[in-house]
Amino acid sequence: MNLSFWEHKTWLSNIDFAVIGSGIVGLNCALSLRKKHPKSKIVVFERGMLPSGASTKNAGFACFGSISEILDDLKNHSEEEVIQLVKNRVEGLKLLRNTLGDQQLDYKEYGGYELFTKEDAALFETCKSKISFINELLKPIFKAEVFSEKENHFGFKNIQQKLIYSRFEGQIDTGKMMLGLIQKTSKENILIMNSSEITNISDDGNSVLLQLNSSETLRQAQCDISVKKVFIATNGFAKQFLDEDVKPARAQVLVTKPIENLQIRGTFHLDKGYYYFRNIENRILFGGGRNLNFKTEETTEMELTQLVQNKLEELLKTVILPNQSFEIDQRWSGIMGMGNQKKPILKTVSKNIFCGVRLGGMGVAIGSSIGKQLAALYD
């Protein structure tokens, strides 16, 4: 790469901490490193023009688990483990709100609702019957009743008559969250290098050699950079560097054009959480459908499929907005990192390399604290 003396000296030499990936985890990791190491040189390498995984693509649910999800978790985890999972999410959300403030996040605690399809009558009955048990289980965290039954005041069709309401669930503006984090890192003298993909990492025990591949049209070339410590925060793309149980999981989303007199306000989970929707201003943002073909969605390609997009539109027409006409404004997809377990992978990979990946569908809630814990792996 034809770098000038100045470019090399200012951006690419004497790096104490290199963070790979500028999503929620990478940026929080960088901010946390800055707190402990005020004089260090911290550089975040991001292969996209913007963060290009899940953090700028998500639905902005500030949630900690719907009732069916918590009951499902109880099948594979002990009660103590489930309480801890929920606690981590609640504390992670507090950390996010403290880091950026509710105004920057546009945080609104409108509450969340779970809808049950016509076919899910048995699940609905089970969830209803377990409300007081789960509320009791979560009392130590919330000090109040979390879940209750609610009438369907929204005009949803083709679902079970009642909804299960979760009063502490909120929503954020995902774009504002990421903009806030990027601005904060810049204020903290952390450099973010966009269009900069790391293609290889090797630790010789004293330092780490990074191979940088710049995809910027004017500078398509590679160079090697030597850094002291590396923090991998590439989530769904982590297989590139790590031999761990983490797979990409694509999630597709759409948003409608503004809808007059939209009465829907809140975050909504449908079909065991495989679908999710919310209002954003007077639009509906709707995503999900990975379960229609898990294998196809196990990809890092940010494409859309007819199968999923058609299903999203069908559910909008038949369940969510049955009495209103609407138009789709935009569609996109993002890549999550999933594995057989829900817990993220936080570990020391080698003497100078650390990783914090596999955030699943809860990165808004846990991303800030996983970033902080990733930084703390080096102390």
Ligand X SMILES: Cc1cc2nc3c(=O)[nH]c(=O)nc-3n(C[C@H](O)[C@H](O)[C@H](O)COP(=O)(O)OP(=O)(O)OC[C@H]3O[C@@H](n4cnc5c(N)ncnc54)[C@H](O)[C@@H]3O)c2cc1C
Smallest separation, CB 338 to ligand X (Å): 9
Asked if 288 touches ligand X (CB under 6 A), the answer is: no
In angstroms, the CA 184 to CA 166 distance is 32
* Closer Cβ to ligand X, 198 or 242, answer by number: 198
Supply the DSSP string of 117-152, one letter for each residue.
BGGGHHHHHHHHHTHHHHHHHHHHHHSS--EEEEE-
Exactly one of 287, 316, 338, 345 binds ligand X (CB under 6 A); which one?
287
Exactly one of 20, 163, 254, 345 binds ligand X (CB under 6 A); which one?
20
Amino acid at 227: V
Tell me the window of 47-55, 65-73, 131-139, 215-223 that interacts with ligand X (CB under 6 A).
Answer: 47-55
Exactly one of 18, 22, 163, 297 binds ligand X (CB under 6 A); which one?
22
Amino acid at 304: L
Tell me the window of 42-50, 70-78, 99-107, 117-125 that interacts with ligand X (CB under 6 A).
Answer: 42-50
Helix (H) or strand (E) holding 363: helix 363-376
Smallest separation, CB 86 to ligand X (Å): 13
Smallest separation, CB 377 to ligand X (Å): 15
In angstroms, the CA 286 to CA 192 distance is 31
* Closer Cβ to ligand X, 32 or 58, answer by number: 58
Tell me the window of 114-122, 124-132, 153-161, 361-369 that interacts with ligand X (CB under 6 A).
Answer: 361-369
Yes or no: say if 57 and 24 are a contact pair by the CB < 8 Å rule. Answer: no
Strands (E), the chain: 15-20, 42-45, 61-62, 112-115, 147-151, 162-166, 170-171, 191-193, 196-203, 208-214, 221-232, 247-256, 267-270, 275-280, 283-288, 328-338, 345-350, 353-357
Asked if 21 touches ligand X (CB under 6 A), the answer is: yes
Residue 39 makes CB contacts below 8 A (sequence gap 6+) with none
The rounded Cα 134 to chain-centroid distance in angstroms is 25
Yes or no: say if 287 and 294 are a contact pair by the CB < 8 Å rule. Answer: no
Query: Please, which of residues 219-258 interact with ligand X by CB under 6 A?
Result: 233-237, 240, 251, 253
Binding mask 312-341 for ligand X (x = CB under 6 A): ----------------------x-x-----
Tell me the window of 149-157, 254-262, 289-297, 363-371 that interacts with ligand X (CB under 6 A).
Answer: 363-371
Tell me the window of 155-163, 254-262, 347-355, 364-372 that interacts with ligand X (CB under 6 A).
Answer: 364-372
* Closer Cβ to ligand X, 160 or 371, answer by number: 371
Binding mask 48-67 for ligand X (x = CB under 6 A): x--xxxxx-xxxxx------
Rounded to the nearest 5 degrees, what angle is found at the Cα of 291, between the Cα atoms of 288 and 293?
A: 115
Query: Please, which of residues 159-198 interact with ligand X by CB under 6 A?
Result: 197-198
* Closer Cβ to ligand X, 134 or 356, answer by number: 356
CA proximity to 231, closest of 55, 28, 93:
28
Smallest separation, CB 105 to ligand X (Å): 12
Residues linked to residue 202 through DSSP beta bridges, in sequence order: 209
CA neighbours within 13 Å on the CB side: how many for 273? 16
Query: Please, which of residues 77-96 interact with ligand X by CB under 6 A?
Result: none
Asked if 375 touches ligand X (CB under 6 A), the answer is: no
* Closer Cβ to ligand X, 128 or 239, answer by number: 239
Smallest separation, CB 19 to ligand X (Å): 9
Tokens 């780490």, residue?
208
Helix (H) or strand (E) holding 379: none
Yes or no: say if 243 and 29 are a contact pair by the CB < 8 Å rule. Answer: no
Amino acid at 64: F
Exactly one of 85, 159, 338, 364 binds ligand X (CB under 6 A); which one?
364
* Closer Cβ to ligand X, 24 or 163, answer by number: 24
Amino acid at 362: M
Structure tokens at 9: 């000296």
Which residues lie near ligand X (CB under 6 A)? 20-26, 45-48, 51-55, 57-61, 197-198, 233-237, 240, 251, 253, 287, 334, 336, 359, 361-365, 367
